[in-house]
Amino acid sequence: MGILHTLKGLSALGEIQAQSELQIETKNMASSHRMIEMLDNPAAQWIDTSNFHNLTREGYLKNIIAARCIQMISRGVGSLNWKVYDKQGEEVTDGELVKLLLRPNPIQGSTSFFQELELFKLISGNTFLRAIRNNEFQAPSELYVLRPDTVKVEPGAFELPKYYEHSHRGNLTRFPVDQVSGNSDVLHMYFPNPVDEWYGLSPLAQAAQEIAIHNEGAEHNKKLLQNGARPSGMLHTDQELSDDSRSYLKRELEEKFQGSANAGRPLVTEGGVKWTEMGISPKDMDFLNARNSSARDIAQAFGVPPQLVGLTESSTFNNVREAKLELWESTIMPEGDLIKTELNHWLAPMFGEFTIDYCKDSITALQPRRDEKWKTAESASFLTVNEKRSMVGLGPVDNGDQLLTQQRAEPEQPKDPQSKSYDDEDVVVTFRQSEERK
């Protein structure tokens, strides 16, 4: 049976296909929230935020906007230049703590270690550090980031965890927590979670709904491309088709008219068979604007300006530069401050009276702020030299506690006839005029 003959009587089949393959309802496409529901499509289910692997797969591996946000923040945190200071505030350039921060373990340097720490936190809302030491009286010799799905927090009786349980290759290791001081060989850092006191809530989980919508838009566009970039339609006729004819016709249509290789192939019908389009075009459905709106919401959940994730409708050089500055000041540096606080509470006391901090002067993105501060300090005539130096982060100098004045005493001009000052030249001209009159 040829395909041109089996095309007749496809009305019932076309109606079934149109209802089962794709039903899309869009409401208020200009708003930032759009519900796209695709029936008979397992990928249309919302992301399970309680499952680390599922959240990583759907939110990080499949969604380019979320992945880009996570990469920018984690790389920014990884690029921070960590330093150690003694109790007098002087920088320590050598010592076990300095070496540990530069090389936390044999397979990671400072950059990859802190980048991995932040990446796990952004995905799961939690990150766990383990200190390797021989006993509780010795300082750690190595630090490791533990994958959050391998660590279980056992609740304690006094708002402190009882212990942390780490599962690795079938082996379980428990790290007890001192119920008075809270000290442990495991440090748990997390985003606040209003519904769970033991586990954090990640930006990825908060943006799960918008990520699902964004992913569905990409999946739908992929299906449209595979089907020749046309929505589903139906061929109909007044005649009837047998079940075998319908199955054969469906198979022939899929083989000869679906896929990018068959895009644009003409469909020839006969015997009163007509084509009726059952959907609306992607342009009419405004999928591009819908996905851009979801992308902006995803970036907002991570604290990343939309210009930095490819939404460049109104981007210029100036506002992109300001966007990078905003990313550092509002997102990356607060994360660095949190890490600094936790390390000073957990790690630094194991080595003595030291303080851990990162160097803000080494952050290139903050150069516009430093330039503004230098200009302000330079133009402040009411400040002493040392006050200006302190304002820009420099130490005091000798004799720097005095004000600089703009007025300076001008030396007395010599009364030499060879002098080129205006007054002297005027005198010479007057003398010559007097001589000529004589």
Question: Can you tell me the distance from the alpha carbon of 65 to that of 76, in angstroms, rounded to the nearest whole number?
Answer: 17
* Range of weakest confidence among 18-32, 182-196, 298-312: 18-32
The answer, yes or no, to whether residue 337 has pLDDT greater than 70, is yes
Mean pLDDT of the chain, nearest integer: 77
**Banded pLDDT at 83 (limits 50, 70, 90):** very high
Q: Beta-carbon neighbour count of residue 413 at 10 Å?
A: 11
* Half-sphere exposure (Cβ direction) of 60: Cα atoms closer than 13 Å: 21
**Structure-token match 């208020």, residue found:** 28
pLDDT reported for residue 176: 94
**Banded pLDDT at 240 (limits 50, 70, 90):** confident
Give 164: exposed, middle or buried? Use CB within 10 Å, 0-12, 13-18, 19+.
Answer: buried
Question: Can you tell me the distance from the alpha carbon of 71 to that of 366, in angstroms, rounded to the nearest whole number?
Answer: 19
pLDDT reported for residue 393: 72
Q: Which carries the bigger pLDDT value, residue 40 or residue 291?
A: 291
What's the average model confidence in pLDDT over 27-53? 47
Residue 129 phi, psi dihedral angles, 5° rounding? -110, 140
The answer, yes or no, to whether residue 363 has pLDDT greater than 80, is yes
Question: Can you tell me the distance from the alpha carbon of 381 to that of 400, in angstroms, rounded to the nearest whole number?
Answer: 14
Tokens, residue 74: 């984690």
The answer, yes or no, to whether residue 373 has pLDDT greater than 70, is yes
CA 152 to chain centre: 26
pLDDT reported for residue 298: 92
Which of helix, strand or coil describes residue 180?
coil
Cβ burial 37-66 (10 Å sphere, 16+ → b, else e): ebeeeeebeebebeebeebbebbbebbbbb
The answer, yes or no, to whether residue 53 has pLDDT greater than 80, is yes
Tokens, residue 251: 């198979």
* Range of weakest confidence among 68-77, 141-150, 269-278, 394-403: 269-278
pLDDT reported for residue 259: 58
* Range of weakest confidence among 19-28, 82-91, 345-354: 19-28
> Ranked by mean pLDDT, which of 251-260, 311-320, 346-355, 390-399 comes out on top?
346-355
pLDDT reported for residue 148: 94
Q: Which carries the bigger pLDDT value, residue 390 or residue 269?
A: 390
**Banded pLDDT at 269 (limits 50, 70, 90):** low
Cβ burial 378-411 (10 Å sphere, 16+ → b, else e): eeeeebebbebbeeeeeeeeeebeeeeeeeeeee
Give 217-250 as a DSSP string: HHHHHHHHHHTTS---EEEE-SS---HHHHHHHH
What's the average model confidence in pLDDT over 18-43? 35
The answer, yes or no, to whether residue 263 has pLDDT greater than 70, is no
> Ranked by mean pLDDT, which of 197-206, 243-252, 311-320 comes out on top?
197-206
The answer, yes or no, to whether residue 107 has pLDDT greater than 50, is yes
**Banded pLDDT at 147 (limits 50, 70, 90):** very high
The answer, yes or no, to whether residue 368 has pLDDT greater than 50, is yes
Q: What are the residues whose beta carbons fall under 8 Å from the beta carbon of 81, sequence distance 6 or more?
A: 358, 359, 362
> Ranked by mean pLDDT, which of 9-23, 113-127, 394-408, 420-434 comes out on top?
113-127
Residue 232 phi, psi dihedral angles, 5° rounding? -65, 145
Residue among 289, 221, 299 nearest 64 (CA): 299
Q: In the chain, pLDDT over 90 holds for what percent of residues?
A: 38
Q: Rounded to 5, what percent of the chain is helix, strand, coil?
A: 45, 15, 40
pLDDT reported for residue 278: 59
CA distances from 173 to 18, 117, 168 (A): 55, 20, 8
Question: Can you tell me the distance from the alpha carbon of 74 to that of 204, in angstroms, rounded to the nearest whole number?
Answer: 13
Greatest distance between any 2 Cα atoms in the chain: 136
The answer, yes or no, to whether residue 31 has pLDDT greater than 70, is no
What's the average model confidence in pLDDT over 7-31? 36
* Range of weakest confidence among 115-119, 164-168, 275-279: 275-279
The answer, yes or no, to whether residue 142 has pLDDT greater than 70, is yes
The answer, yes or no, to whether residue 206 has pLDDT greater than 50, is yes
